[in-house]
Each structure stands twice: as C-alpha cells, then as structure tokens.
Amino acid sequence: MQRQEIEKLSDKDIALYALYLLGGWERRIHTEEIALKCYELSPSRFSWVRYPQYPDLAPARFALEATKKAKYGALVEGESERKRTIKNMGGWRFTENGVQWIKANRSRIEQRLGRRIPPGDRLSKDRKLKELLRSVAFRNFEKYGGKAEISHAEFVESLVCTVNTRPGILNERLKQLHSAAEELRREEVKDYVNFCREKFNTLLGGKED
C-alpha cells in the first residue's frame, strides 16, 4: 500500500481500527496491546523518532484519550493503566457509539491500509451469539417478548455465568452481547439485552424503582 494512502488516515482511525482487531467491541484491551497493533499497521506513525524499530505508546494513547471525549463522539471508554483505580480497571473498549463508528468506517480504513479483517473475527462473534440463542432464557424471550418470565438462574445461564457472578461481570457480558449484535445486525439480541437490563436492574447493580 502506497504511503500516501495511509497518510489519509488519522491516528484516531488507526487506533480505533487496532482496537477493533484486538476485540475491543467485546472487552477491554490493554493500551500497550493497542499501541503494538498500531505499530504493526503503520510503523512510521507509531514508532520512536530516533529508534524507529520500537513502537511508541504515546500516539495510540493520545488518540484513544481524544476519542473518549464527547466532542469526538465518545467512541471508546476506558483509561490508561497508569490511571487505574479500584473503580477504573484500565484498558479500552468501544462504546455503542464506537461500534457504530467502526461499522461505518472499517471499509474505508481497510482500503487505505490494504488489508481485510480475518474471517475468524466474525466467527468469534457468531459463536458468542449462538451460545445465547441456545439458552432457555432467550428462547423464552423469543416466544413471549416483554412478558417472558425468566428466572435469575436462567438469565445468568444465558450469559454463560452463575448465580454467584458479580454485577460488574454480568454488565460486561451484556455489553459484549449488545456490541456483537450491533456488528452482526441481530436486533432480537439487542432487544433481549435491553429487556434483561430492565428486568434485572437491581441484580445488575441499579436502584430499585
């Protein structure tokens, strides 16, 4: 791929695409992993100046911190691992806005970089959704919609969790499912996630009405 084609991409484009390649639509990715992937995609843009054989963390981190801001669409959530606290565990992942953004911009970025997403990426998402679609809870929801009677045990089983799983992990699994459903255009899965968020609000750490 000619250099001028890559130069049409911003650091934000490349950082977000790197996050996507690493699975940032479903889980948090360490800043260093993203920086390394950016370096693989565009070594001249994401390397040290005097020692270009080494990846530079700063451009990727700056790009992620920028796209986290509302003025850039709040496309990612997370923080540098150096800023990690009890509440913030570090790493980066797409928001729902970010999933929409990468869907709209992926082809443009791939064309500039001269590469395509490996087929295994889509297969991974398909497998996650198939686990849900086989669950008792989802089949119940599919049959009765918003009137479905789903127990606590059935709900967590649909997320491949147990009744002892912490709220934070349950919320993370729901985010993963919603992101995968966005990517694969499965509206019924998004409806199920929204139904569960409302029905199990208290279990997920929300306040009782």
Strand ranges (E), 3-116:
76-79, 91-94
Q: Give the rounded percent of residues in the chain with a pLDDT score beyond 90.
A: 56
- Residue 160 near residue 173, CB atoms below 8 Å: yes
Average pLDDT value for residue range 181-195: 88
Q: What is the mean pLDDT of the chain?
A: 86
**pLDDT at residue 120 is higher than 50:** no
Average pLDDT over residues 157-172: 90
Decide if 196 contacts 155 (C-beta within 8 A): yes
pLDDT greater than 80 at residue 14: yes
Instruction: Report pTM.
Output: 0.60
What are 79's strand-pairing partners? 91
Mean pLDDT value of segment 94-111: 91
Residue ranges covered by each domain of the chain: 3-117, 120-199
How far apart (Å, rounded) are the C-alpha atoms in residues 135 and 151?
12
Question: How many Å apart are CA 108 and CA 185, to the nearest integer?
Answer: 20
CATH fold of 3-117:
Arc Repressor Mutant, subunit A (1.10.10)
